[in-house]
Amino acid sequence: MSRFSPAVRSLLRQPCSSQWRKTPAIASSQAWIKPAYQPIRHLATPAAMPPTSKENIGVYCNPAHDLWVKESGPSVDEVKSGSALKEGEVTIAIKSTGICGSDVHFWRHGRIGPMIVEHDHILGHESAGEIIAVHPSVKNLSIGDRVAVEPSQICNECEPCLTGRYNGCLEMRFMSTPPVDGLLRRYVNHSATWCHKIGDMSYEDGAMLEPLSVSLAGMQRAHIALGDPVLICGAGPIGLMTLLCSAAAGAEPIVITDIDQKRLDVAKEICPRVRTYKVEPGVSMEDAGAAMSKLAGGSLTTALECSGVESSIAAAIYSVKFGGKVFVIGVGKPDMQIPFMRLSTQEIDLQFQYRYANTWPRAIRLVQSGILDMKRLVTHRFDLEDAVSAFETSAASAKTGAIKVLIQNP
């Protein structure tokens, strides 16, 4: 130590502290020195870290259409030590996760288009939770932060990413879409970039931000404006969410359709001014479209199709007037027949949507401000250990009355 000055030697002999402090030996210079050893941010103190005594479990399906709950990663030891965290990642204790129709589809049918379940696969992509571990490279999140998880993992190099339309990333890894495991687990490691702070928002509302983002993306791309007459096809979770958004945007009149009267009743409950149309069996697409148009006063310019059902898309095409637009938010079968000449002779635009981009900050503002209240859409809640029952309830929505089923991990 002889090569150091007396002041520095004095400093080196002093015990380290986790706080910035002024060194007495050089106090007269008002110099402030940071201690040599810093707290490791990914290792929480016992007082700060939430309980992680429970083993990590996840909700799995497979090509045989089985559904079960079993042990998953990261392990409790990895969570406590932070050893499994990569640069830029955090660990989230997932508190609430919504069941999406795509989750049910992967379980029951094993695929959606080219996305095929080929191995044991963890479901879930509508989640919110608490940060319980942070890699040292992460500066914008801390242990204890409440976050909603955007389930995207992008390359940040392809044209869609670089032009802000990252939902079209050529190397997209979207959680719960095979082969990428989903969020229906007790603990998940995820990129901090895609963890959005939600403050004191409930975890349930935080989980609902994902389907809300789907509706917001459709609203933005369809350019719904104040006073626009709008048709919403399908009163499922996305259709009802789109109804809330359309009402908040000032669309008028709004017509919503479904085959289930109970769901139309919910639509009327959350938006009393909406006009409902029950789709009856045996009614032609042309007649259904004409009835929807009449209900809106013959002025429909935009239809937001939220079911993905072929007959519903066709009816929407027959409902809008010359120069109108049918914007398809819903996901359907790979091949469909559509009334091409109706589209052509009436100059009707047919557009489609794939997920979302840059919607989460907007969604958080809308919920935190009270402009949108999504609570009525949650009809059932289950513990993570009872996830199989939760999925059965969601899949049998016509009998159970389920709209949005949430899986919770208190």
> Which of 23-27, 272-276, 366-370, 393-397 has the least mean pLDDT?
23-27
Q: How far is CA 126 from CA 96, 144, 149, in A?
A: 8, 20, 7
Are 246 and 254 in contact, with CB atoms under 8 Å apart? yes
- pTM comes to 0.87
Average pLDDT over residues 14-36: 36
What secondary structure letter does DSSP report for 194?
G
pLDDT digits (tens, 9 = 90+) for 268-304: 999 999 999 999 999 999 999 999 999 999 989 999 9
Confidence of residue 233 (pLDDT cuts 50, 70, 90): very high
Distance of alpha carbon 289 from alpha carbon 115, whole angstroms: 32
The Cα–Cα gap between 298 and 284 comes to 18
